[in-house]
Amino acid sequence: MSKIICRCEEITEDEIIEAISNGARSVTEIKKFTRAGMGLCQGRTCRKSIERILARETGRKVEDIGISSYRKPVRPTKMGSMK
């Protein structure tokens, strides 16, 4: 049984590996293939794990993976907390 990497969208490590084998080469592409990182936390919980899997499966360094696209917070945020 493959472990859950993205808890919000219930995406497993096997699904991420499958996306990579189907051509995904960035966190954003994995998002588009699987929805991993598109849940309520917007990847704050799973993004680093996805980067590590992508690096391992493609033989690259995690530093070379690059950042994924971000969306605005899902929940309302007080203006004072945005500094």
Size of the site for ligand FES (CB under 6 A): 13
Which of 24, 43, 51, 53 binds ligand FES (CB under 6 A)? It is 43
What are the DSSP calls for the chain, one per residue? -PPEEETTTTEEHHHHHHHHHTT--SHHHHHHHH-TT-STTTTTTTHHHHHHHHHHHHT--GGGT-PPP----SS---GGG--
Q: Is 16 in the site for ligand FES (CB under 6 A)?
A: no
Q: Is 37 in the site for ligand FES (CB under 6 A)?
A: yes
Q: What residue ranges bind ligand FES (CB under 6 A)?
A: 6-9, 36-37, 39-43, 45-46
